[in-house]
Amino acid sequence: MHIGFAGAGAVGCHYASKLVQQGVQVSLLARGAHLQALQQHGLYHESEGRLRQLSVRADDDPAMLADCDVIVLSCKMTGLAALLESLQSAVSAPPLLVTLQNGVQAPDMVARAFPDAPLLAGTAFIGVRIERPGHVLHTAAGGIRLAVWSKASADDGHALLEVFRQAGVPARFDADACTLLWRKMLWNCGFNAITAITRRYARDMAAGVETLPLVTAAMQEAMAVGQRCGAAVSEQDIRNHVDVTLAMGPVKTSMWQDIESGSASEIDYINGYIVRKAGELGLAAPVNTMLTALMHAIEGQGA
């Protein structure tokens, strides 16, 4: 199986590394200084106290993915629309596509861009970041969950999961794609923005007497919206997220990384999305409104 990672940043490179170590054929669509480092020195992957240097196939030409059996879309939501446009002109007969974006909008965006392609919706629960171009540091978790979205079958999902499992990636198949996406959305709403604002790890926010109620309230607001959108999310999911986060290592969330690097964050696809949907549904979302406003203010100051 030939697996391509489109938008191969920290998340894509982590999973690519695991697959390459297992002998799976992998191609990385990347850009900028990160791409140059991958081409010149290979991928440095640091995980579980061990640093590996791996030779990888990397380019910025989407045509390199034309012969892949699977394309994993691993860019951030802020870059997904442009990535899909570039793939449309380069991949004439799209293979199995997989989304790993935060939020809940990616599968619909991909299905509109590639209406005839088999599509799996996925989530990655992982702590990983680019320490420097070409060097990815994995700090926590790493599980993948997949579910059928459109045109794909459960067999497609199970076959891909088996490849990941053989590479040592905890992976499972879920029957309900909507709930799968919203369950991850709860965690992101609770922890992503607040860690970016405070520059503190997620476990600190879960342990804080003053911050935990904010984290929980943000997730409860997201849960109410998700339930109205058909997701079977519950208070138990919130408790599970808090418990897992308390046991985590030093996870620097993606929004925190974006603020430090001066990149656009995914706030409008996470907390901001909850604010918009809550307004449409006649629900209140004061905590998500506050977190969105503070992130907008920080990003405006950065600009």
Determine the pLDDT at residue 92: 84
Q: Tell me, what's the pLDDT at 303? A: 41
pLDDT of amino acid 93: 83
| Amino acid sitting at position 242 | V
Domain at 2-175, CATH class: alpha beta
pLDDT value of position 301: 57
pLDDT of residue 94: 80
Q: CB of 241 within 8 A of CB of 123?
A: no
Q: How far is residue 268's CA from residue 77's CA, in Å, rounded to a whole number?
A: 10
pLDDT given at position 302: 41
Q: Which of 224, 220, 258 is nearest to 242 (CA)?
A: 220
Class at the top of the CATH hierarchy for domain 179-302: mainly alpha
> pLDDT tens digits for the chain (303 residues)?
999 999 999 999 999 999 999 999 999 999 999 999 999 999 999 999 999 999 999 999 999 999 999 999 999 999 999 999 999 999 988 899 999 999 999 999 999 999 999 999 999 999 999 999 999 999 999 999 999 999 999 999 999 999 999 999 999 999 999 999 999 999 999 999 999 999 999 999 999 999 999 999 999 999 999 999 999 999 999 999 999 999 988 889 999 999 999 999 999 999 999 999 999 999 999 999 999 999 999 999 544
Dist CA 221 CA 75 (whole Å): 26
The single residue listed with the structure tokens 């990672």 is: 5
CB 114 within 8 A of CB 94: yes
Model pTM score: 0.96
SS3 160: helix
In what helix (H) or strand (E) does residue 299 lie, and over which residues does it extend? helix 286-302
For the chain, domain boundaries: 2-175, 179-302
Domains 2-175 and 179-302 share a fold: no
Beta-strand relationship, 171-173 and 50-54:
unpaired
